[in-house]
Amino acid sequence: MSQPQHRHSDSGTIPSMTSVQHELRDNTIIIVFGASGDLAKKKTFPALFGLYRDGYLPKDVKIIGYARTKMEEVDFHKRVTQYIKNPDEDQEVVAKIDEFKKISTYISGGYEDDASFENLESHLKVLESGRLSKERNRVFYLALPPSVFIPVAGRVKKLNYSEDGVNRIIVEKPFGKDLESSRKLLGSLKQYWTEDETFRIDHYLGKEMVKNILVLRFANIALSAAWDKNSISSVQITFKEEFGTEGRGGYFDEFGIIRDILQNHLLQVLTVLTMERPVSFAAEDIRDEKVKVLRAIPPIAKEHTLLGQYVAANGKPGYLDDNTVPPNSTCPTFAATTLWINNPRWEGVPFILKAGKAMNDAKVEVRIQFKDVTSGIFKDVARNELVLRIQPSESVYLKLNTKMPGLYTRAMPTEMDLTYKRRFADNKIPEAYEALILDALKGDHSNFVRQDELDYAWKIFTPILHWIEGKDGIAPKPSPYPYGSRGPNIDAFVRKYGYIRSSEGYTWPITTLRDLANL
């Protein structure tokens, strides 16, 4: 079967906004550590297949899965293709899956013994032996828990590092548990791998709507002119899941909702939302501006934080009913916290980050509420709001006031609606992991987290995390909220920071799963 067409920015596709350095176009092997785990089979391999299907992986690429689990190659192929979507049994996709299996092999081995990595090196050399070029590029993807990051990173550098090509290592979060552990982890990693070789993934930076924020802000004078403290009253960045820990409470209890969502995903969205215009779209120019934002944010205060833990309701079990959760755990499954950016553009504007499990719906969005219009000819006019729906169903809503049709002059709130699946019905929206793996192959760091970014992010969150864990006194007890609710007293919390809910009689357009199926 023919290989997919190898695409580059000069072959009719839209060129990247970022500069490309050392793009891996051929002679490349991608090694996925943790290949038997959930992350690899649900995200990494489906993303690699998506890139392969569309012709974006390097020419004649080979993929190696590596894990402790002993399994036959046929079982490995079944595992890594089970989450590839092909609901209509498209025969072209079926054929591509067969091709993908042929370029993918599996090696079983440990993570802390040299012999396993020597075995991997022998396998790498066999795959590379048939190539005419002396170039040997290798990309190592660590879909692993952080406890084995350093043993694997060290042995890969010692025993599998190519001296005849480009080497890159991709590392998944969590990057430590607080400032001290993060510095220790990243410092150890830096002993083996340079910053240019290291790609730290926060997959939210690969999401289409997050990447679109820069274009919305800096390519539209109508928005950029109002993007500051003079026009904006408050900003909310919300992450909601409809399900609880569902048997994964042991892992979750170790990290909690703040480490899992706020300190990385939502904080990354905040930096893109608030950074100054970069000099260019080059990676370091973008990341420099993000770091400037983080440096202007003081550590989170207790009085600006609301914690919750879901309890049984609506036939669903509570967090403490999960057998994998330690008895009497005070780990929050919901957190809302307010950050302040002490710089000329944003001084005084509250940025409210909210995340929770077992909520009333599932969504991730940014809600920007503007200030009231000058009082005078209009009374009780609803505030303008701009909502960026990151998932599900990428959308941009702008709530504004317009005259109600009729003989009387009466203002009413309505919305301008840009729902991607309607407006861009013929365009495929890539998965975040597809975008990020492609960026790593291109050598583009702009959507990856730099080491100093992590340092400043942990400085913001470490004091509140130590308070929650009782390291600075008695641990606070989170407020209970029913499974399937909006969280513990969230309306009063956001009102405290000047947010005014939409006027009575108005509801935001909601896209249901049924609606999505019909688009």
Active site residues: 265
Question: With helix as H, strand as E and coil as C, how does 446-500 read?
Answer: CCCCCHHHHHHHHHHHHHHHHHHCCCCCCCCCCEEEECCECCCCHHHHHHCCCCC
Q: Which of 461, 458, 440, 432 is nearest to 202 (CA)?
A: 432
Task: Write the CB contacts of 433 (distance below 8 Å, at least 6 apart in sequence).
Answer: 43, 44, 46, 47, 203, 206
Q: Which of 22, 10, 77 is nearest to 45 (CA)?
A: 77
Q: Which of 40, 370, 87 is nearest to 233 (CA)?
A: 370
Cα–Cα distance, 332 to 475 (Å, whole number): 11
Cα–Cα distance, 504 to 382 (Å, whole number): 10
Peptide bond before 413: cis, by omega within 30 degrees of 0?
no
Cα–Cα distance, 39 to 172 (Å, whole number): 10
- CA dist 172 to 157, 191, 199, 436, Å? 18, 18, 9, 12
Peptide bond before 174: cis, by omega within 30 degrees of 0?
yes
> In the numeric block, which tokens belong to residue 391?
């998932």
Q: Is 266 in contact with 274 (CB distance < 8 Å)?
A: no
Q: Which residues pair with 172 in a beta bridge?
A: 201
Name the strand (E) or helix (H) holding 306: strand 305-311
Q: Which residues pair with 232 in a beta bridge?
A: 370
Quote the distance between the C-alpha of residue 292 and its chain's center. 21
Q: What angle is formed at CA 449 by the lines to CA 468 and CA 64, rounded to 5 degrees?
A: 110
Cα–Cα distance, 332 to 160 (Å, whole number): 41
